[in-house]
Amino acid sequence: MIFENLDFLNRLVEKNDLDAIEALRKDRPQSVRYDAPFVRSALMLSAHRLRHLNKLDDLEADIVVLNLEDGVAPALKPLALRLTGLFLAEAKSIRSKTVVRINPLNGGGREEIAYLNTVLPDAIRVPKIETADDVEEALGLIDERIKVHLSIETKEGWANLSQLRVDKRVEAYYLGVLDLLASMRLPQRIVHLHNPTMHAIMTRFLLESSVAGVLPVSFVFQEYQDTEAFENWCLLENKMGYHAKGCVSPAQVEIANRVFIPSEEEIAWARRVVELFESNPNSSGFTDDELGFVDEPIYKNAKNLLELAARMG
């Protein structure tokens, strides 16, 4: 909990006293943040809700996305922006990577970036990206110390997916599936665990993000009370090769953090493969009674798995 008592802030919020909130922020040093070595969960928080913001330093999510866009009424967006700055400054330490989801560049996003450059979140998430030129503009506006995340939620952005990582500062893509389907004029009913079109969308997003060298974050499952369905989505995505999922509740974070880790059996297999392959340095491949045939691609896959497990601690 960042503030022990929110009464004084509630009064400022009720009066919409942006200057007083900003004055509070300027008196605070930068908070200490920890960049999660391995991302499994990306929790969305509405940046105008004090009770949610006040838990920022006590969340288990690997990424926390402070949302200024959807779910924040236009009249409340300036307030949400300044509350974001205040809580990021006030927190003594935050275990999550902090990302601020701004509004579209032509819908207030440019002005929000100018403010956030003085706050220095870990990353800024830019919505409604359509072309490489959009990304170039965002990079030019955002302080070089801040990473850039992109929401893929329009058919134009989808068509240009392979061209959007124009700089190494772009480190993550988020699949905004409902907006994407609306843009494509596809029905939302295809968001079903066994729908082949949904599988095709998720497969392409995963592969093109991975080829580009960015983290693919799978879509947010809005039915936050249906934890069984959410876990089934996580299990499917884990099987596909994902390891990061958008979340809207701490319960979803707990599930994602539990599902998206290599199993003990996988780690034991990888260790055995690496041990045997490295003990046969002059061999291009061999057959083991337990593992079957092991060659260099299998060895590299095992090494990757062990490196992943090591990053998770």
Domains, the chain, in order of start with CATH, read 7-259 (3.20.20.60), 264-312 (no CATH)
pLDDT of residue 93: 81
pLDDT of residue 267: 81
pLDDT of residue 92: 80
Angle formed by the axes of helices 109-116 and 77-90, nearest 10°: 20
pLDDT of residue 1: 86
Task: State the pTM of this model.
Answer: 0.87
pLDDT of residue 263: 74
CA distance 175 to 191: 13
Q: In degrees to the nearest 10, what's the CA dihedral of 7, 9, 15, 21?
A: 160
pLDDT of residue 292: 80
pLDDT of residue 205: 98
Pairing of strands 170-175, 215-217: parallel
**For the chain, which ranges sit under pLDDT 50?**
none
CA distance 304 to 313: 15
